[in-house]
Homo-oligomer: A and B are copies of this chain.
Amino acid sequence: MISIQFGNEMLCKEARLALRDAIELLSGKWKICILQQLEFGDKRFKDLQEVVVGISPKVLTKELLELEQNLLITRTVNNTKPITVSYSLTPFALEAQAVYDALLTFGIQQRKRIKEAIAGNGSLQNVAV
């Protein structure tokens, strides 16, 4: 059904839509980072704020909501002294881990290449520092 497996150029509609959905859900500055951090274990809101460097509470709230609505994480309210909320991955999120791995592998090589490429001209436009 997925035309890439037949080697032709027409991505069948379902595959095209799947790709678009995945990009739409996982694109953006923060989602992959949040999922990655949750791979190490459940985290509270505040933990995530600290460990996902640079994210604001507003944006964190929004990202967590979207991930929850897409069934990749679950939100649990704990009855602790000052109330805390834990976020944890659902089993579904494991498939997103493959995306993370591929991005990391790619990113590491890409940084090497770009750094080499700019070694000659001195500018640093395409890699974060």
Contacts and interface: CB of A to CB of B under 8 A. Distances in A.
Q: Is the interface on chain A under 10, 10 to 19, 20 to 34, or 35 or more residues?
A: 35 or more
A16 B26 CA distance: 16
Contacts of A22: 103-104, 106-107, 110
Given A17-B128, A109-B92, A102 B102 contact: yes
Contacts of A55: none
Contact of A71 (B9, B95, B113): B113
A44 to B, nearest CB: 14
Contacts of A74: none
When all copies of this chain in the complex are counted, the total is 2
A121 B39 CA distance: 30
A54 B19 CA distance: 15
A49 interface: no
Nearest to A125: B69
Nearest to A100: B19
Interface of A: 2, 4, 8-9, 11, 14-29, 32-33, 36-37, 40, 51, 53, 69-71, 92, 95-96, 98-111, 113-114, 117, 125-129
10 contacts: A2-B104, A9-B51, A18-B104, A20-B107, A21-B107, A22-B110, A23-B107, A24-B128, A25-B110, A98-B105
